[in-house]
């Protein structure tokens, strides 16, 4: 049994390393989009679902108002999802013909998909040809909209996936989140570019109104609490897989805030993991399973080697654990190098080996709880 575990772990690690090498090459093959001045003609609606964001929403609105895109060609629609703080009070002074505030009223309806409902209402009250979703705690550069519009007008895709980064607040947890999320973004870009499987993030996602209506929006996935981004993407990819593009440009990077506590971070990742078995794009499942099994086996091997001191012939579990851990760390660093340069966080890679134990543990816990547990989001208990 011991030898079988070691052989299984070795085979999984070989597959994992090869996958990371493929992701790195795919990321590097994504062309950097260079935005040249054009005559803009696309009307854009930016949709934001906000719940209890009094500390963030003002900065987002300020960033939107600083866009160098013609003001008559975009609007900002904020849908308030039953906020209990001063979110609405912060928004009200900004309201005009370009900025709308729409209250979400679902108190009498049985639903757990509040964010999907908020985005849906926002889209129904918008007039843009292109819909862009972002989150209330996000910040973007002044070239965000103009670059997206130029990319859309050049390629006319049905959906545009764009990079998101978690801001490094220089705390231990903040650095960890920045690096961990950056790896997910690298995989996202590589996967979308190579049409391997569909990944995206609703904090920086664009799609046409026409395709949203064509797939009937969130219909059929509105019983799932999260997944306003990837579940929608998988609906679109059924007919338009080749028309979903990744926009690789530093001008469109959206910066979001890190979770401030370990409990909130774990809750967030459980929420993300909870939709894993709901994906219609089944090509993603083997990758998720491989990543989970690699981390689970490392935990098992650590326990077997360090706690029970299991051995098999010349093999012992603690030695094998460290060998596999080193291989995992080096291959992940190799993958992250070009990704971190793009996001401007290459100096953070010095912290990466130190974070490995935390990454392994949270992956195992969040993956399990996402399938069998529950989580809280914005004061709501969900499953």
Percent of the chain with pLDDT over 90: 64
Question: Which of 96-118 are b and which e, b meaning 16 or more Cβ less than 10 Å from the residue's Cβ?
Answer: eeebbbbebeeeeeeebbbbbbb
Instruction: Yes or no: say if 183 and 287 are a contact pair by the CB < 8 Å rule.
Output: no
According to CATH, the superfamily of the domain at 35-174+198-251 is Spore Coat Polysaccharide Biosynthesis Protein SpsA; Chain A (3.90.550.10)
Q: Bridge-partner residues for 102, per DSSP? A: 79
Using the predicted structure, report yes or no on whether residue 83 has a pLDDT greater than 50: yes
Model pLDDT for residues 47-80, shown as the tens digit of each residue: 999 999 999 999 999 999 999 999 999 999 999 9
Give the residue extent of every domain in the chain.
Answer: 35-174+198-251
Q: pLDDT averaged over the chain?
A: 88
What pLDDT does residue 186 have? 96
Whole-model pTM: value is 0.91
What pLDDT does residue 45 have? 98
What pLDDT does residue 216 have? 94
Closest CA to 87 of 50, 38, 113: 50
Q: Which residue has the higher pLDDT, 309 or 59?
A: 59
What pLDDT does residue 196 have? 86
Model pLDDT for residues 118-163, shown as the tens digit of each residue: 999 999 999 999 999 999 999 999 999 999 999 999 999 999 999 9
**Three-state secondary structure along the chain?**
CHHHHHHHHHHHHHHHHHHHHHHHHHHHHCCCCCCCCCCCCCCEEEEEEECCCCCCHHHHHHHHHCCCCCHHHEEEEEEECCCCCCHHHHHHHHCCCCEEEEECCCCCCCCCCHHHHHHHHHHHCCCCCEEEEEECCEEECCCHHHHHHHHHHHHCCCEEECCEEECCCCCHHHHHHHHHHHHHHHHHHHHHHHCCCCCCCCCCEEEEHHHHHHCCCCCCCCCCCCCCCHHHHHHHHHHHHHHEEECCCHHHCEEECCCCCHHHHHHHHHHHHCCHHHCCCCCHHHHHHHHHHHHHHHHHHHHHHHHCCCEECCEEHHHHHHHHHHHHHHHHHHHHHHHHHHHCCHHHHHHHHHHHHHHHHHHHHHHHHHHHCCEEECCEEEC
């Amino acid at each position: 049994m011991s030898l079988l575990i070691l052989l299984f772990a070795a085979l999984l690690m070989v597959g994992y390393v090869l996958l990371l090498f493929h992701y790195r090459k795919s990321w590097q093959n994504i062309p950097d989009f260079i935005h040249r001045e054009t005559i803009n003609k696309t009307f854009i609606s930016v949709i934001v679902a906000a719940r209890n964001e009094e500390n963030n929403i003002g900065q987002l609105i300020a960033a939107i108002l600083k866009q160098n895109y013609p003001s008559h060609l975009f609007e900002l629609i904020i849908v308030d999802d039953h906020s209990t703080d001063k979110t609405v009070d912060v928004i009200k002074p900004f309201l005009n013909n370009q900025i709308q505030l729409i209250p979400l009223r679902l108190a009498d309806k049985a639903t757990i998909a509040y964010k999907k409902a908020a985005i849906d209402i926002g889209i129904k009250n918008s007039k843009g040809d292109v819909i862009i979703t972002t989150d209330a705690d996000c910040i973007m550069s002044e070239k965000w909209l103009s670059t997206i519009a130029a990319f859309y007008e050049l390629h006319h895709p049905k959906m545009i996936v764009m990079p998101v980064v978690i801001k490094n607040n220089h705390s231990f947890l903040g650095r960890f989140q920045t690096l961990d999320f950056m790896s997910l973004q690298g995989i996202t870009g590589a996967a979308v570019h190579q049409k391997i499987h569909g990944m995206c993030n609703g904090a920086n996602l664009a799609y046409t109104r026409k395709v949203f209506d064509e797939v009937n929006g969130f219909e059929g996935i509105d019983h799932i609490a999260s997944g306003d981004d990837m579940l929608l993407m998988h609906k679109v990819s059924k007919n338009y897989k080749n028309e979903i593009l990744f926009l690789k440009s530093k001008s469109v990077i959206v910066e979001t805030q890190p979770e401030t506590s370990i409990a909130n971070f774990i809750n967030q990742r459980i929420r993300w993991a909870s939709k894993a078995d709901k994906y219609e794009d089944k090509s993603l499942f083997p990758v998720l399973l491989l990543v989970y099994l690699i981390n689970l086996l490392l935990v098992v091997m650590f326990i077997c080697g360090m706690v029970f001191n299991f051995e098999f012939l010349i093999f012992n579990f603690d030695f094998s654990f460290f060998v596999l851990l080193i291989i995992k760390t080096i291959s992940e660093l190799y993958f992250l190098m070009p990704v971190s340069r793009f996001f401007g966080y290459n100096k953070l890679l010095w912290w990466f080996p130190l974070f490995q134990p935390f990454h392994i543990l949270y992956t195992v816990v969040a993956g399990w709880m996402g399938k069998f547990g529950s989580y809280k989001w914005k004061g709501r208990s969900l499953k």
